[in-house]
Amino acid sequence: MSFEWSILMALAGAAIARPAATYLGSRTGWVMALVPFLIFLSLFQHLGTVAGGETVIAHLSWVPSLGVDLAFRLDGFSLLFALLITGIGTLVTLYAGAYFADKPHWEIGRFLALILLFMTAMLGTVLSDDLIVMFVFWELTSLTSFMLIGFDAHKAEARKSAIQSLLVTGGGGLVLFAGILIIGMELGTFSFTEVLARSDELVASPWIGVVVVLIMIGAFTKSAQFPFHFWLPNAMAAPTPASAYLHSATMVKLGVFLLARFDAVFAEVPAFGATLVVIGSTTMMIAALQALRAEGFKAVLAQSTVASLGILVMLIGLQGEVAAVATVGFILSHALYKAALFFCAGTAIHATGEASLRKLGGLARFLPVTAVAAVLASLSMAGLPPFVGFISKEYLFEAQLTNDWNIVPVAVAVAVNAVMVGVAGVVSIRPFYFKSHRVTSVKHGETPGLLAGPLLLASGGILIGLFPNAIGQSLIGPAASALYGSPIDVSFQLWHGLTPMLVLSFAVVAIGTAIVIYWDAIHTYLRQQDGLYRLLGDRGYHRVLDGVLGAARGSTRLLQNGDQRRYTSVVIATVVIGLAIALVAGPAAISIASPEGALRISLVLVLLLTAAGALATVKARSLIAGLVCVGIVGFALAVIFMLNGAPDLALTQIAVETLLVILLTAVLLRLPARQKHSRTTSERRRDALLATCFGGVIFIAVASMSAIPIDLRLSDYFGETSYLDAYGRNVVNVILVDYRAIDTLGEIAVVAFATIAAWALLRGSAARPGPKE
Amino acid sequence: MSLVYALAIAVQMGCGVYLLLSRHVVRIVLGVVLLSAATNLLIFVAGGLVFTAPPVIVQGTQTLGAEAANPLPQALILTAIVIGFALVAFAAALVLKTYRAVGSVLTSGHTDAEALGSPFDAEATRNA
Amino acid sequence: MSIIFSTMSRLFFALMLIVSIYMLFRGHNEPGGGFVGGLIAALGFALLALAENVATARRALMVHPVALMGAGLLLAFASGLPGLLSDRSFLTHWWAEIGSLHLGTATTFDIGVYFVVIGGVLCLIFRLYEEVDQ
């Protein structure tokens, strides 16, 4: 099966999840997990092809007129992501089935439908070759994560976090879109493969700086990099299975994915790598501090995710083969242990109803297997041998040391990794083994569905650590090669000998152990630093949001003040100004003295009659008199049509005018007679001035218009072919029913809808009691 | 001649706009009628008014004579007249319905939406 | 209501209906057509409604004005379908030549317009003048 069908399969899974849940009940999780699992297997088959360094491209024409193709691309890097997305997706589906066991079945169905839709979007993003298609999927991940974060829509916090994540990631997506459009404008293609091949052309273009900044902003918002780091920790308002998915494998790594993809394109742009290193390091530091400060089980994990993303962004900023291997290795190891830890946290919180690390303790008695899984995953997170986390950390340090950066990033990396060790220790030991008096009972024990995910992932971490070569050759090597741009011979090894990296690892573990021991003191101290929190939190976001709301409030008060007259004035004044500008600056000169035909006295009189009728309408004291004046204008218009060779128009105008008078009379009979002015004298004066300006501009425009020659090609064509092709002598009628029949069809539809609406509006209204006044 | 047309159109449009700015809903509807009539005349003038024979192919010939009026704007205006009528009729129905529901023919009396308060105030109470 | 007025209105109603149908069918070659024809017919019914009452006019129309409007829209739409079949182009009309007379789906289209206009206008007239009668 070709790989692009996996996206369609995932979508089909999302579509059937909700109805299936009604039939499957508590087994929904197990059955629906088959969908991502089958996709995982089908993608797994491509491992051999891709490991040979091949890139598979699939094409489907979508919007050829815009140059947008449904093109998909499978290389080592996207295959790694696709496998992580579907593999962890399988476990998340399984886990969610067990997690929601106490909820109604339809709720499981709704959640799984969203998860699978989310997976579809993720798969689409990493597999797309066309940048526009990728953007569509990218925004779809923002939308589905919005729905996942806000899944418990009855909670205000969930709604708030969901909107925050949507505003940040959706807004970032639009910025990214701008970048993509500029690339398309410059290179004339949206195909990533072609952009990659012609990257030197792009780098040479004057737009390159803008493109780099736009794409970086898009990636930073998605991957929660400074200054957009605040939304991700709030996003844990989502149910835990969704958090595990959002935080580990997928959504937040998309930004990293994008940066890594464009790394090969932007490699020549000098500031690109440096910016990534600086932003990544800043994010790491902030997130590390926040992780120590956080109190909730999930909150600590979420902050450590932000730190990990910072590490990844920094790694992409570094050059060289080792950096590429380190990036890929860290993506893999982080996905494994972070998803496992979120699963364990979810089980612990769900079983106790308590989320604070300060209140959890001794859970190993009740959740023994979960505790073991948490410890195993933590060891990988702490980067201890023989876990995969150890290997990826060694590569991280090696990548830093082999680059010509100064010591600051290395120091940051050591500090942040030490915090990771500390966090790993705190989240695995404290809730499960310490302070056993804190929790004396749990609401439920462990079920197979709750255990499968954490156990598989945690043991995967140790298995890869023990046998790194298998995965190194088949998955990490091709992925790193795709990232680096040329084949890398990867020796993904557990033991590198006594190297500087090992020394750094020792330092990390030593500091980390100290953090675990003194966590209470550090945590309490940091919580007292309110200033720090204000600096690091999402205050900036709230400021911006409040500013936008304030501007909206102000403009609403100004423009939407409830007075219809003012709205109309604004519209008319705008028309007057626009027309005046067009007249003065437009290509056609203003010419009042135009080529005159001979004055036809009868016509002049009728035209003056229309003007007099219009003026009389304004002056009329009663509404009925006004209606009569309008009627005069209408009938005079019919005479003008008659005198200028338009009998059809004249007939129609007379009939319509008669009907209008009949209708409006019926309406006026039911309304109170007009007694006084609805406007004050000064308002009337202002309106008269505006109306005069309007009339003046129109006068000049119409007078100048008649100096411009008319293009009669269309009219001539109709005149010549009307009888020969359409067998009609009345050209007007032939235009209506034949040449422009589809137009006429639309117009009679409008007439039908308008009159049906009026029919419905007045239904039964006569039976009602009279007006309030 | 075109100056006379321009004057007639301008006066009609100016009067229409003046009525449109009124607070009396029926005056607004009358303003719409005047504006649409003036617009139809404007399109008619824009099509050129050199020839005054109806655009009908004379019996015995197969193409439209050179002295016939321009048929295209006539076709456009014909539908515009009928649509304008439907629009005004709907607006009149709306006026009647509004008067019966709200009890006022002045837009300043149509304050049901404003009575609900500002959306920002509603949001503030929800968040508090 | 004076008997003379009533009788005259019925006479005029019949006259206007005949004129409207004449206008409709001559529209392709002479000034006229579905719009004008429909408006004149609607005026005829309006005259009847004003001179007698709405109920009489409704009876004279026989079908509900909204139904007439729907039928007109459907007819106009359907007249475009043959062209869709033969030329893959919606509303490209078919023609049949009977002697010197050309009959085609364009005429059907115009009849659709005629019905929509009658139905639409009468919707409004009937609604508004029904209340006067009550």
Residues in B closer than 8 angstroms to C127, CB to CB, are: 93
Q: Which two three-digit tokens encode residue B37?
A: 């009539």
What pLDDT band is residue A773 in, cutting at 50, 70 and 90? very low
Q: Which of A364-378, A390-404, A600-614, B108-122 has the lowest mean pLDDT?
A: B108-122
Any chain C CB within 8 A of the CB of B79? Answer: yes
CATH of the domain at B31: 1.10.287
Query: Which chain A residue has its CA at the smallest distance from B57's CA?
Result: A729
Output phi, psi for A72, to 5 deg.
-125, 150
What average pLDDT does this structure show over A248-258? 79
pLDDT tens for residues B6-34? 999 999 999 999 999 998 889 999 999 99
Q: What is the pLDDT of residue B124?
A: 52
What's the number of CA atoms in the CB half-sphere (13 Å) around residue B102? 18
Residues in C closer than 8 angstroms to B56, CB to CB, are: 29-31
Phi/psi class of residue A320: alpha, beta or left (left: φ > 0; alpha: ψ in -120 to 50)? left
What average pLDDT does this structure show over A488-503? 72
Better-predicted residue by pLDDT, A176 or A46: A176
Chain B nearest-CA distance from A691, in A, is: 5
A633 to B12: CB separation less than 8 angstroms, yes or no: yes
- Helix, strand, or coil (residue B108): helix
Residues in A closer than 8 angstroms to C130, CB to CB, are: 766
Name, in order, each residue with C-beta under 8 angstroms of C54's C-beta and a sequence gap of 6 or more: C125, C126, C129, C130, C133
C29 to B56: CB separation less than 8 angstroms, yes or no: yes
Q: How big is the B-C interface in CB pairs under 8 Å? A: 15
- Which of C28, C123, C129 lies nearest to residue A666, judging by beta carbons? C129
B47 to A705: CB separation less than 8 angstroms, yes or no: no
Q: A20-24, A764-768, B39-43: which has the highest mean pLDDT?
A: B39-43
Query: Which chain B residue has its CA at the smallest distance from A685's CA?
Result: B18
Closest C-alpha among A10, A172, A14 to residue A86: A10
pLDDT tens for residues A25-35? 778 888 888 88
Query: Which chain C residue has its CA at the smallest distance from A734's CA?
Result: C28
- Which of B82, B89, B93 lies nearest to residue C35, judging by beta carbons? B82
What average pLDDT does this structure show over A649-668? 91
Whether A559 shows a pLDDT value over 50: the answer reads yes
d(CA A756, CA A761) in angstroms, rounded, equals 8
Closest C-alpha among A87, A97, A89, A119 to residue A15: A119
d(CA A50, CA A43) in angstroms, rounded, equals 11
Output phi, psi for C103, to 5 deg.
-115, 140
Burial state string for A356-371 with b = 16 or more CB within 10 A and e = fewer than 16: ebeebbbbbebbebbb
pTM of the predicted structure, to 2 decimals? 0.68
- Check if the interface score ipTM surpasses 0.95: no
A641 to B44: CB separation less than 8 angstroms, yes or no: yes
Residues in B closer than 8 angstroms to A643, CB to CB, are: 52
* A 531-590 → B contacts, CB under 8 A: 549, 552-553, 556, 562-565, 568-569, 572
What pLDDT band is residue A770 in, cutting at 50, 70 and 90? very low
B96 to A690: CB separation less than 8 angstroms, yes or no: no
What average pLDDT does this structure show over A553-562? 79
Any chain C CB within 8 A of the CB of B53? Answer: no
pLDDT tens for residues A96-141? 888 888 888 888 888 889 999 999 999 999 888 888 889 999 999 9
Query: Does B62 reside within a domain?
Result: no
d(CA A719, CA A713) in angstroms, rounded, equals 10
Q: What is the pLDDT of residue C133?
A: 57
Whether B76 shows a pLDDT value over 80: the answer reads yes
- Which of B41, B49, B70 lies nearest to residue A637, judging by beta carbons? B41
* Chain mean position to CA A321: 33
In chain B, the number of structural domains is 1
Q: Do B97 and A765 meet the contact criterion of CB atoms below 8 Å apart?
A: yes
By the 10 Å C-beta count (0-12 exposed, 13-18 middle, 19+ buried), A67 is classed as: middle
CB atoms within 10 A of CB A373: 26
- Which of B54, B82, B85 lies nearest to residue C31, judging by beta carbons? B54
pLDDT tens for residues A3-15? 777 888 888 888 8
Whether A691 shows a pLDDT value over 90: the answer reads yes
Residues in C closer than 8 angstroms to B89, CB to CB, are: 124
- Neighbouring subunits of A (3+ Cβ pairs under 8 A): B, C
Q: What is the pLDDT of residue C79?
A: 87
Whether A311 shows a pLDDT value over 70: the answer reads yes
Residues in A closer than 8 angstroms to C116, CB to CB, are: 748, 751-752
Whether A231 shows a pLDDT value over 50: the answer reads yes
DSSP string, A202-213: HHHSTTHHHHHH
Q: What is the pLDDT of residue B9?
A: 94
What average pLDDT does this structure show over A283-301? 85
What residue segments make up the domains of chain C, in order of their start? 3-133
Residues in C closer than 8 angstroms to B79, CB to CB, are: 35
Query: Does B60 reside within a domain?
Result: no
Any chain C CB within 8 A of the CB of B54? Answer: yes
C124 to B56: CB separation less than 8 angstroms, yes or no: no
- Helix, strand, or coil (residue A12): helix
Query: Does B42 reside within a domain?
Result: yes
C120 to A655: CB separation less than 8 angstroms, yes or no: no
Tokens 């835990």, located at residue: A240
Residues in B closer than 8 angstroms to C35, CB to CB, are: 78-79, 82
Query: Does B63 reside within a domain?
Result: no
Q: What is the pLDDT of residue A767?
A: 46
Better-predicted residue by pLDDT, A651 or A467: A651
Any chain B CB within 8 A of the CB of A713? Answer: no
B82 to C117: CB separation less than 8 angstroms, yes or no: yes
d(CA B31, CA B118) in angstroms, rounded, equals 31
Query: Does B46 reside within a domain?
Result: yes
Any chain A CB within 8 A of the CB of B66? Answer: no
CA-CA-CA-CA torsion for C20, C21, C26, C32, nearest 10 degrees? 30
Q: Which two three-digit tokens encode residue B5?
A: 């047309």
Better-predicted residue by pLDDT, A612 or A359: A612
Any chain C CB within 8 A of the CB of B14? Answer: no
Q: Do B64 and B55 meet the contact criterion of CB atoms below 8 Å apart?
A: yes
Query: Which chain C residue has its CA at the smallest distance from A724's CA?
Result: C102
Any chain C CB within 8 A of the CB of B89? Answer: yes
DSSP string, B29-70: HHHHHHHHHHHHHHHHHHT--S--B-SBPPTT-SS--TTBPP
Whether A248 shows a pLDDT value over 70: the answer reads no
What pLDDT band is residue B123 in, cutting at 50, 70 and 90? low
Tokens 């790491």, located at residue: A284
B86 to C35: CB separation less than 8 angstroms, yes or no: no
What average pLDDT does this structure show over A599-621? 89
The H or E element spanning position A47 is helix A47-51
Q: What is the pLDDT of residue A771?
A: 45
What residue segments make up the domains of chain A, in order of their start? 336-524, 710-763
Chain C nearest-CA distance from B120, in A, is: 40
What pLDDT band is residue A772 in, cutting at 50, 70 and 90? very low
- Which of A553, A600, A670 lies nearest to residue B120, judging by beta carbons? A553
Helix orientation angle between A76-99 and A105-127, rounded to the nearest 10 degrees: 170
- Which of B56, B78, B93 lies nearest to residue C35, judging by beta carbons? B78
Domain range enclosing B18:
2-54+68-127
**Mean of the per-residue pLDDT values for chain A?**
83
Q: Which of A433-442, A451-460, A733-742, C13-22 has the lowest mean pLDDT?
A: A433-442
C124 to A670: CB separation less than 8 angstroms, yes or no: no
Residues in C closer than 8 angstroms to A727, CB to CB, are: 28, 95, 102, 104
pLDDT tens over chain C, length 134 residues:
578 888 888 899 999 999 999 988 888 888 888 899 999 999 999 998 888 888 888 888 889 999 999 999 999 998 888 877 777 777 777 776 666 666 778 888 899 999 999 999 999 888 888 876 55
A656 to B1: CB separation less than 8 angstroms, yes or no: no
Residues in A closer than 8 angstroms to C17, CB to CB, are: none
CA-CA-CA-CA torsion for A339, A341, A342, A348, nearest 10 degrees? 150
Share of chain B above pLDDT 70, in %: 91
Q: Do A197 and A181 meet the contact criterion of CB atoms below 8 Å apart?
A: no
Whether A689 shows a pLDDT value over 90: the answer reads yes
Residues in A closer than 8 angstroms to C47, CB to CB, are: none
Better-predicted residue by pLDDT, A707 or C44: C44
d(CA A452, CA A458) in angstroms, rounded, equals 10
Name, in order, each residue with C-beta under 8 angstroms of A261's C-beta and a sequence gap of 6 or more: A77, A192
- Neighbouring subunits of B (3+ Cβ pairs under 8 A): A, C
